Amino acid sequence: VITLPHSVNVFAPQQGFVVNQHVKVGDIVNKGQPLYELDVSRNTINGNVSAAQIEVINEKIANAEDIISKLMRNKSETLTALEKQIKTTSASLAETNRMLATTQVGLNKMFTNLSSYDKYLKDGLITKDQYNYQHSLYFQQQSAYQSLVTQKMQLESQLTQTNSDKITKAADFDNQISSQHNQINDYKNQLVESNANGNLIIKATTNGKIESLAVTKGQMVENGSSLAQIKPTGDIEYYLILWLPNNTIPYVKPGDTINIRYDAFPADKFGQFPGKVISISSVPASRQEMAEYTNVNNGTSQQELALYKAIIKIKDKTFSYNGKTLTLSNGLKAQAVVFLEERPLYMWMFTPFYKMTQSVSGPIDE
């Protein structure tokens, strides 16, 4: 007998021992609710391996966070210094541009005056020394102008380089900070793995009622050990898994009614119960599939036959006996009376004769 949805068996994922038991038989649980806490860690003469790993990983995370804090502080200080340098260079460039404009105006005026000095020299109004002196002043002014032009170019180049350094330094710090964050994420993944090697929480995989608990606090469990069985609650349908031999397949079809006899409820006291065939497999069941049902009769005679899986819908889920209400449960073993064909009595009597006739009739002409 099975239920839909099926009862759920909860198994231990690793070897360990039970630290805590959070439920008891009969409790109603929800999906994801803790059932057991298992300690799967290893211990050596130096202590618990998982605890030591977790401590080391937490130290690595703390160191990485400290490095990130220092990098952010250094980034802020570096960018602040570069920003001050940019402001100073920008102010110097502005002052140089102002001086360059003033020098340009003075240089233009001196160039205009030199034309007049040429006339003054021809007219004898000034001496040759005065004339040469004015030219000397003009060349000095022109040299000062060229120096300012060179200074402007240097300041512009310096400003460009400083702005570039600001962007490069910021990106470099960001890359280092990002690298440390990635390291922290790796450490956290290691921490999760280490915690998984410490204590495991076994949770309910579905909503239902705790039907049985296989272990208690302090017990050792192996990988794959059964821990608990959960019976789904709500609208549950009961079905019988029936294994039909191949010689019954021509006579049984979906919709047929069969009689069910439960081993737990002997037919001489409880009678038979009706069931309806829902489906019949078209291929024989494999041994692996049959092995999933622990109450299947694995006798040699049955193993020599091909068995087909039939699903039978059970009509009566509960019934009364001596004033008690009895309920079906998952895993009950049952037998069924399957009605194959109807013949007159004389045909059953002549069945051996029919078999003998078929044996000596010879080949069938297609």
Is the pLDDT confidence value at 247 over 90?
no
The neighbouring-strand residues paired with 244 are 308
The per-residue pLDDT for 234 is 73
Average pLDDT over residues 209-236: 87
Average pLDDT over residues 259-282: 86
Chain centroid, CA 300 distance in Å: 47
Instruction: For residue 65, give the amino acid letter.
Output: E
Same domain, 205 and 191: no
The per-residue pLDDT for 346 is 52
Q: How far, in Å, CA of 231 to CA of 238, rounded? A: 12
CA-wise closest residue to 57 among 225, 232, 186, 242: 186
The domain that holds 306 is classified in CATH as: 2.40.30
Q: How far, in Å, CA of 312 to CA of 155, rounded? A: 94
| Number of structural domains found in the chain | 3
Same domain, 316 and 346: yes
Same domain, 190 and 212: no
Choose one of 213, 230, 247: the last residue of a domain: 230
Please check whether residue 41 is in contact with residue 199, taking contact to mean a CB–CB distance below 8 angstroms.
yes
As a whole number, the mean pLDDT across the chain is: 82
Q: How far, in Å, CA of 180 to CA of 63, rounded? A: 10
Does 252 reside within a domain? yes
User: Running DSSP on this structure, what letter comes out for residue 224?
Assistant: T
Burial class (CB in 10 A: 0-12, 13-18, 19+), 226: middle
- Residue the block writes with tokens 């512009």: 156
CA-wise closest residue to 239 among 295, 291, 296, 317: 317
The neighbouring-strand residues paired with 221 are 16
Tokens linked to 191: 């921490």
Is the pLDDT confidence value at 358 over 60?
no
Please check whether residue 199 is in contact with residue 19, taking contact to mean a CB–CB distance below 8 angstroms.
yes
Predicted TM-score (pTM) above 0.75: no
The per-residue pLDDT for 356 is 54
Tokens linked to 260: 């069910």
Q: How confident is the model at residue 362 (pLDDT cuts 50, 70, 90)?
A: very low
Same domain, 53 and 111: yes
Is the pLDDT confidence value at 79 over 50?
yes
Same domain, 107 and 240: no
Same domain, 55 and 188: yes
Same domain, 85 and 212: no
Would residue 270 be called left, alpha or beta, if left means φ above 0 and alpha means ψ between -120 and 50 degrees?
alpha
3-class DSSP state of 278: strand
The domain that holds 13 is classified in CATH as: 2.40.50.100
Is the pLDDT confidence value at 81 over 90?
yes
Range with lowest mean pLDDT among 44-48, 105-109, 137-141, 353-357: 353-357
Q: How confident is the model at residue 359 (pLDDT cuts 50, 70, 90)?
A: low
The per-residue pLDDT for 300 is 45
Does 365 reside within a domain? no
Same domain, 190 and 202: no
Does 2 reside within a domain? no
Q: How far, in Å, CA of 5 to CA of 205, rounded? A: 12
Same domain, 218 and 318: no
Does 275 reside within a domain? yes
Same domain, 53 and 192: yes
Is the pLDDT confidence value at 63 over 90?
yes
User: Running DSSP on this structure, what letter comes out for residue 44?
Assistant: E
Is the pLDDT confidence value at 45 over 80?
no
Please check whether residue 145 is in contact with residue 107, taking contact to mean a CB–CB distance below 8 angstroms.
yes
Residues above pLDDT 70, as percent of the chain = 87
Average pLDDT over residues 195-214: 84
The domain that holds 149 is classified in CATH as: 1.10.287.1490
Does 72 reside within a domain? yes
Average pLDDT over residues 182-197: 83
Does 1 reside within a domain? no
Q: How far, in Å, CA of 116 to CA of 135, rounded? A: 12
Same domain, 258 and 209: no
Average pLDDT over residues 39-46: 73
Range with lowest mean pLDDT among 117-126, 146-155, 216-225: 117-126
The per-residue pLDDT for 185 is 93
Residues whose CB is less than 8 angstroms from the CB of residue 196 and which lie 6 or more positions away in sequence, other chains included: none
Is the pLDDT confidence value at 272 over 80?
yes
Is the pLDDT confidence value at 336 over 60?
yes
Does 323 reside within a domain? yes
DSSP string over 130-150: HHHHHHHHHHHHHHHHHHHHH
Same domain, 272 and 186: no
Q: What are phi and psi of 213, to 5 degrees?
A: -125, 125
Pinpoint the alpha helices (H) of the chain.
Answer: 49-123, 128-196, 267-270, 287-291, 300-303, 345-349, 351-360
Please check whether residue 21 is in contact with residue 213, taking contact to mean a CB–CB distance below 8 angstroms.
yes
Range of the domain at 219: 7-40+198-230
Does 182 reside within a domain? yes
